[in-house]
Amino acid sequence: MTRATSTGSARHLPPRDPKGGRPPQEIAALLGAHILDVALDQFVAHGVEGASMEGIASAANVSKRALYSRFGSKTALLVAAVEHGTAHYLRPIAANIPAGSTQDKLLHVSRKMLDASLKREAIGLESLVSWIADHGSEVSQVTPSMGAKAGIALIQSILERACDGDEKCATDLPFLAAFLFDAFVTCPRTRILLRHELENTSSAKSGYLERTMNLIARGIPFLDEDCSG
């Protein structure tokens, strides 16, 4: 069985063993990813309230009992699916940061994250992250790998490498990382999708990010020095 999903991946799953029993570890991992792909599709399509464990189980071709055995509840499955979807977009970005100055690296990952955030699937994913944030009492644990926090963590990792033990440089990096994420991703995305002040073209986005970087670097010495050095 092959299943295409909103994340763009396709899962090739072997047929079930008619004798039952636990599947081999490799197949179990593939099945787990397949379930999360399908669950994410269902949550995006129907909303958190509209999606059901029965519907997700049916779409994934697994039993409802298997879902509860793996995840415990619909809310836990939602969190796992959102983290899975976020990783789908951010993992390749984090794995392919180019060599160069800190400015070059920040511009590269910011552009990739901005492009990803403009995809229809990512917009649906964002609505689920918002639901989770609004229902904190129902979610036992939301890890930093979810939503914008993952992008902020990626930017912070680049800043930490640039500081390389310099305590003065490293002051309040979490705040700076969040500020840069908003400047490079949140703001241009809002200008494109909501305010229609920025065209969703390669040249427009590149120009916007470069101008933003040049302005910010003037007030952040280690970024400006990194570029000139």
Ordered by start, the domain boundaries in the chain are 2-72, 98-228
Least confident of 55-59, 112-116, 133-137: 133-137
pLDDT category of residue 138 using cuts at 50, 70 and 90: low
Is the domain spanning 2-72 CATH 3.40.190.10? The answer is: no
pLDDT category of residue 146 using cuts at 50, 70 and 90: low
φ/ψ of 3, rounded to 5, equals -130, 115
Gap between the Cα atoms of 18 and 80, Å rounded: 28
Give alpha helix (H) positions in the chain: 25-50, 53-60, 64-71, 74-95, 102-117, 120-134, 148-163, 173-181, 187-193, 202-217, 221-228
| pTM assigned to the model | 0.74
What mean pLDDT is predicted for residues 115-137? Answer: 84
CA 172 to chain centre: 23
Q: Is the pLDDT of residue 179 over 50?
A: yes
